[in-house]
Protein backbone atom coordinates (compact mmCIF):
# COMPACT_ATOMS: atom_id res chain seq x y z
CA UNK A 1 0.00 0.00 0.00
CA UNK A 2 1.25 3.49 -0.80
CA UNK A 3 1.99 5.69 2.21
CA UNK A 4 -0.31 8.38 0.84
CA UNK A 5 -3.26 5.97 0.79
CA UNK A 6 -2.57 4.67 4.28
CA UNK A 7 -2.21 8.19 5.67
CA UNK A 8 -5.42 9.32 3.97
CA UNK A 9 -7.31 6.37 5.46
CA UNK A 10 -5.99 7.06 8.97
CA UNK A 11 -6.65 10.79 8.71
CA UNK A 12 -10.22 10.14 7.64
CA UNK A 13 -10.90 7.60 10.39
CA UNK A 14 -9.34 9.80 13.09
CA UNK A 15 -10.70 13.11 11.76
CA UNK A 16 -7.20 14.54 12.00
CA UNK A 17 -8.08 17.88 10.39
CA UNK A 18 -10.75 18.58 13.02
CA UNK A 19 -8.06 18.80 15.70
CA UNK A 20 -5.66 21.06 13.79
CA UNK A 21 -6.43 24.12 15.94
CA UNK A 22 -6.80 22.20 19.22
CA UNK A 23 -3.63 20.15 19.49
CA UNK A 24 0.01 21.21 19.87
CA UNK A 25 0.98 17.94 18.21
CA UNK A 26 1.48 17.99 14.45
CA UNK A 27 -0.87 15.09 13.83
CA UNK A 28 -0.67 13.03 10.68
CA UNK A 29 2.45 12.22 8.69
CA UNK A 30 5.46 13.84 10.39
CA UNK A 31 8.33 12.15 8.54
CA UNK A 32 8.44 10.27 5.27
CA UNK A 33 8.06 10.44 1.47
CA UNK A 34 4.37 10.14 0.50
CA UNK A 35 5.13 7.83 -2.43
CA UNK A 36 6.79 5.20 -0.22
CA UNK A 37 5.46 1.63 -0.38
CA UNK A 38 4.27 0.33 3.01
CA UNK A 39 4.33 -3.40 3.73
CA UNK A 40 4.97 -3.42 7.49
CA UNK A 41 3.79 -0.93 10.14
CA UNK A 42 5.02 -0.75 13.73
CA UNK A 43 2.92 0.82 16.48
CA UNK A 44 4.07 2.38 19.76
CA UNK A 45 2.87 4.90 22.30
CA UNK A 46 5.96 7.11 22.10
CA UNK A 47 8.03 8.21 19.12
CA UNK A 48 11.43 8.02 20.82
CA UNK A 49 14.83 6.62 19.99
CA UNK A 50 14.06 3.22 21.54
CA UNK A 51 10.86 2.65 19.56
CA UNK A 52 12.30 4.11 16.35
CA UNK A 53 15.30 1.75 16.56
CA UNK A 54 13.00 -1.18 17.39
CA UNK A 55 10.74 -0.39 14.44
CA UNK A 56 13.75 -0.27 12.12
CA UNK A 57 15.02 -3.60 13.53
CA UNK A 58 11.57 -5.11 12.89
CA UNK A 59 11.81 -4.09 9.23
CA UNK A 60 8.93 -1.64 9.45
CA UNK A 61 8.34 0.93 6.73
CA UNK A 62 6.15 3.11 8.97
CA UNK A 63 5.96 3.79 12.70
CA UNK A 64 2.61 4.96 14.09
CA UNK A 65 2.71 6.60 17.53
CA UNK A 66 0.50 8.55 19.91
CA UNK A 67 3.27 10.94 20.97
CA UNK A 68 5.36 12.22 18.09
CA UNK A 69 8.30 14.52 17.46
CA UNK A 70 6.71 17.84 16.59
CA UNK A 71 4.94 19.84 19.29
CA UNK A 72 4.18 23.35 18.04
CA UNK A 73 6.87 22.95 15.40
CA UNK A 74 10.53 21.95 15.23
CA UNK A 75 13.00 24.84 15.38
CA UNK A 76 16.26 22.88 15.19
CA UNK A 77 17.20 19.31 14.34
CA UNK A 78 20.00 18.91 16.87
CA UNK A 79 20.75 16.86 19.97
CA UNK A 80 17.72 14.76 20.97
CA UNK A 81 15.68 15.70 17.88
CA UNK A 82 18.56 14.72 15.61
CA UNK A 83 18.94 11.43 17.50
CA UNK A 84 15.31 10.62 16.73
CA UNK A 85 14.93 11.97 13.20
CA UNK A 86 18.24 10.68 11.80
CA UNK A 87 17.42 6.95 12.22
CA UNK A 88 14.03 7.50 10.63
CA UNK A 89 15.65 8.88 7.51
CA UNK A 90 18.58 6.45 7.55
CA UNK A 91 16.19 3.48 7.68
CA UNK A 92 13.58 4.86 5.26
CA UNK A 93 11.14 4.71 8.17
CA UNK A 94 8.13 7.03 8.01
CA UNK A 95 6.42 8.40 11.13
CA UNK A 96 2.68 8.96 11.55
CA UNK A 97 1.31 10.53 14.74
CA UNK A 98 -2.14 10.80 16.28
CA UNK A 99 -2.39 12.53 19.65
CA UNK A 100 -5.74 14.12 20.59
CA UNK A 101 -7.56 12.61 17.58
CA UNK A 102 -6.71 9.18 19.00
CA UNK A 103 -7.67 10.21 22.52
CA UNK A 104 -11.01 11.47 21.30
CA UNK A 105 -12.05 8.60 19.03
CA UNK A 106 -15.10 7.09 20.70
CA UNK A 107 -14.45 3.57 19.40
CA UNK A 108 -10.72 3.24 18.76
CA UNK A 109 -9.43 5.78 21.28
CA UNK A 110 -7.54 5.45 24.52
CA UNK A 111 -10.46 6.36 26.76
CA UNK A 112 -12.66 3.90 24.88
CA UNK A 113 -10.08 1.18 25.58
CA UNK A 114 -10.03 1.90 29.31
CA UNK A 115 -13.84 2.00 29.30
CA UNK A 116 -13.77 -1.46 27.70
CA UNK A 117 -11.55 -2.72 30.52
CA UNK A 118 -14.05 -1.39 33.06
CA UNK A 119 -16.98 -2.76 31.00
CA UNK A 120 -18.74 0.60 31.05
CA UNK A 121 -22.10 0.91 29.31
CA UNK A 122 -24.29 3.87 28.28
CA UNK A 123 -21.19 5.69 27.12
CA UNK A 124 -21.03 9.36 26.25
CA UNK A 125 -18.23 11.70 25.16
CA UNK A 126 -16.40 13.42 28.02
CA UNK A 127 -13.59 15.93 28.31
CA UNK A 128 -14.57 18.98 26.31
CA UNK A 129 -11.81 20.68 24.35
CA UNK A 130 -13.34 23.30 22.11
CA UNK A 131 -15.86 21.53 19.87
CA UNK A 132 -14.35 18.10 20.54
CA UNK A 133 -14.26 15.67 23.48
CA UNK A 134 -11.08 13.76 24.29
CA UNK A 135 -12.47 11.28 26.80
CA UNK A 136 -15.47 9.13 27.57
CA UNK A 137 -17.78 8.36 30.48
CA UNK A 138 -20.14 5.51 31.22
CA UNK A 139 -21.84 3.30 33.77
CA UNK A 140 -20.52 0.16 35.45
CA UNK A 141 -23.17 -2.60 35.22
CA UNK A 142 -22.09 -3.80 38.67
CA UNK A 143 -20.81 -0.96 40.85
CA UNK A 144 -17.17 -1.19 41.90
CA UNK A 145 -15.93 -0.84 45.43
CA UNK A 146 -12.99 1.61 45.41
CA UNK A 147 -10.40 -1.14 45.90
CA UNK A 148 -12.05 -3.23 43.16
CA UNK A 149 -11.73 -0.37 40.68
CA UNK A 150 -8.07 0.10 41.56
CA UNK A 151 -7.33 -3.64 41.39
CA UNK A 152 -9.04 -4.05 38.02
CA UNK A 153 -7.01 -1.24 36.51
CA UNK A 154 -3.80 -2.58 38.05
CA UNK A 155 -4.50 -6.07 36.70
CA UNK A 156 -5.63 -5.14 33.20
CA UNK A 157 -3.37 -2.18 32.34
CA UNK A 158 0.25 -2.35 31.21
CA UNK A 159 1.62 -0.47 34.19
CA UNK A 160 5.16 -1.88 33.91
CA UNK A 161 7.10 -1.15 37.11
CA UNK A 162 4.45 1.37 38.20
CA UNK A 163 1.16 0.88 39.99
CA UNK A 164 -2.30 2.42 40.23
CA UNK A 165 -2.81 5.19 42.79
CA UNK A 166 -6.37 5.80 43.95
CA UNK A 167 -7.34 9.05 45.64
CA UNK A 168 -10.16 7.48 47.65
CA UNK A 169 -12.44 10.43 48.31
CA UNK A 170 -15.68 9.35 46.67
CA UNK A 171 -18.63 7.10 47.49
CA UNK A 172 -18.36 3.46 48.61
CA UNK A 173 -20.03 2.31 45.37
CA UNK A 174 -18.58 3.50 42.07
CA UNK A 175 -21.11 3.35 39.27
CA UNK A 176 -20.56 6.39 37.04
CA UNK A 177 -17.02 6.70 35.74
CA UNK A 178 -15.29 9.29 33.54
CA UNK A 179 -12.10 8.41 31.66
CA UNK A 180 -9.58 10.83 30.21
CA UNK A 181 -6.22 9.18 29.67
CA UNK A 182 -2.70 10.58 29.98
CA UNK A 183 -2.73 13.82 31.96
CA UNK A 184 -6.44 14.35 32.46
CA UNK A 185 -6.93 15.89 35.89
CA UNK A 186 -7.62 19.31 34.35
CA UNK A 187 -11.07 17.90 33.57
CA UNK A 188 -11.88 17.14 37.21
CA UNK A 189 -14.42 19.99 37.36
CA UNK A 190 -16.25 18.56 34.35
CA UNK A 191 -16.30 15.14 36.05
CA UNK A 192 -17.80 16.69 39.19
CA UNK A 193 -20.40 18.60 37.16
CA UNK A 194 -21.31 15.38 35.33
CA UNK A 195 -21.97 13.71 38.67
CA UNK A 196 -19.58 10.81 38.19
CA UNK A 197 -18.20 8.85 41.13
CA UNK A 198 -14.67 8.48 39.78
CA UNK A 199 -12.32 9.99 37.22
CA UNK A 200 -9.80 7.58 35.72
CA UNK A 201 -6.72 9.15 34.19
CA UNK A 202 -3.00 8.54 33.83
CA UNK A 203 -1.10 11.03 35.93
CA UNK A 204 -2.04 13.85 38.26
CA UNK A 205 -0.95 17.28 39.38
CA UNK A 206 -0.34 18.18 43.01
CA UNK A 207 -3.49 20.25 43.32
CA UNK A 208 -5.78 17.36 42.37
CA UNK A 209 -5.47 15.78 45.83
CA UNK A 210 -7.31 18.56 47.63
CA UNK A 211 -9.60 19.32 44.71
CA UNK A 212 -10.81 15.70 44.64
CA UNK A 213 -11.07 15.53 48.43
CA UNK A 214 -13.15 18.69 48.64
CA UNK A 215 -15.38 17.56 45.76
CA UNK A 216 -15.89 14.05 47.16
CA UNK A 217 -14.81 12.18 44.03
CA UNK A 218 -12.41 9.30 43.46
CA UNK A 219 -9.46 9.86 41.13
CA UNK A 220 -7.55 6.84 39.79
CA UNK A 221 -4.04 7.58 38.53
CA UNK A 222 -3.22 4.53 36.43
CA UNK A 223 -0.15 5.77 34.56
CA UNK A 224 0.23 7.96 31.49
CA UNK A 225 1.71 5.15 29.41
CA UNK A 226 -0.58 2.43 30.74
CA UNK A 227 -3.75 4.33 29.89
CA UNK A 228 -2.57 5.17 26.37
CA UNK A 229 -1.63 1.81 24.88
CA UNK A 230 -5.18 1.14 23.73
CA UNK A 231 -5.42 3.57 20.84
CA UNK A 232 -2.32 2.49 18.96
CA UNK A 233 -3.23 -1.17 19.42
CA UNK A 234 -6.69 -0.48 18.03
CA UNK A 235 -5.04 1.19 15.04
CA UNK A 236 -2.81 -1.86 14.67
CA UNK A 237 -5.91 -4.05 14.34
CA UNK A 238 -7.41 -1.60 11.85
CA UNK A 239 -4.33 -1.42 9.63
CA UNK A 240 -3.80 -5.18 9.87
CA UNK A 241 -7.24 -5.56 8.35
CA UNK A 242 -6.03 -3.60 5.33
CA UNK A 243 -3.58 -6.39 4.47
CA UNK A 244 -0.47 -4.77 5.94
CA UNK A 245 1.90 -6.55 8.33
CA UNK A 246 2.05 -5.06 11.83
CA UNK A 247 4.09 -5.08 15.03
CA UNK A 248 3.33 -3.56 18.44
CA UNK A 249 6.32 -2.21 20.36
CA UNK A 250 5.61 -2.23 24.09
CA UNK A 251 7.96 0.07 26.00
CA UNK A 252 6.23 0.75 29.36
CA UNK A 253 7.59 3.60 31.43
CA UNK A 254 5.82 2.97 34.72
CA UNK A 255 4.81 6.63 34.69
My answer on whether 70 and 154 are in the same domain is no
**pLDDT attached to residue 74:** 87
Collapsing DSSP to helix, strand or coil, 175 comes out as strand
Q: Is 228 annotated as a binding residue?
A: yes
**pLDDT attached to residue 244:** 97
Residue 16 belongs to some domain of the structure: yes
**pLDDT attached to residue 14:** 98
pLDDT at 224 over 80: yes
**pLDDT attached to residue 193:** 98
Residue 20 belongs to some domain of the structure: yes
Average pLDDT, the chain: 96
My answer on whether 53 and 139 are in the same domain is no
Domain that holds residue 170: 103-227
**pLDDT attached to residue 72:** 85
* CA 102 from centre of chain: 6
**pLDDT attached to residue 202:** 97
Determine the Cα–Cα distance for residues 253 and 231; give it in Å rounded to an integer: 17
pLDDT tens sequence across 137-196: 999 999 999 999 999 999 999 876 668 999 999 999 999 999 999 999 999 999 999 999
Contacting residues for 44 by C-beta, under 8 A, at least 6 apart:
51, 54, 55, 63, 64, 65, 66, 232, 248, 249, 250, 251
Q: Is 66 annotated as a binding residue?
A: yes
**pLDDT attached to residue 93:** 98
What is the CATH number for 116?
A: 3.40.1390.30
Interval 98-119 mean pLDDT: 98
My answer on whether 150 and 218 are in the same domain is yes
My answer on whether 223 and 236 are in the same domain is no
**pLDDT attached to residue 161:** 64
Interval 97-104 mean pLDDT: 97
Residue 254 belongs to some domain of the structure: no
Q: pTM for the whole thing? A: 0.96
Percentage of the chain lying above the pLDDT 90 cut: 94
pLDDT tens sequence across 65-90: 999 999 988 888 899 999 999 999 99
My answer on whether 86 and 112 are in the same domain is no
Interval 225-246 mean pLDDT: 97
CA distance to 67, 161, 182, 192, per residue, from 251 (Å): 13, 11, 15, 33
pLDDT tens sequence across 124-137: 999 999 999 999 99
Residue 36 belongs to some domain of the structure: yes
**pLDDT attached to residue 159:** 78
pLDDT at 49 over 90: yes
Q: How many domains does the chain have?
A: 2
My answer on whether 81 and 135 are in the same domain is no
My answer on whether 115 and 201 are in the same domain is yes
My answer on whether 111 and 220 are in the same domain is yes
DSSP string, 82-139: HHHHHHHHHTT-EEEE-SHHHHH-TTTSHHHHHHHHTT-EEEEEEEEETTEEEEEEEE
Amino acid sequence: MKLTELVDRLDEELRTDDYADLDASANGLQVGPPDAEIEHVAFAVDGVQETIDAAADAGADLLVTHHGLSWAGIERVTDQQYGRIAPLIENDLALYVSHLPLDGHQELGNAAGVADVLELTDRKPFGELGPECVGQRGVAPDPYAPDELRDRLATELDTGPGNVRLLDFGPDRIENVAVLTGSGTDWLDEAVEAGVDALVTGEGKGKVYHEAKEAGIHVALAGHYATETFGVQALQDLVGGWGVGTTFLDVPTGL
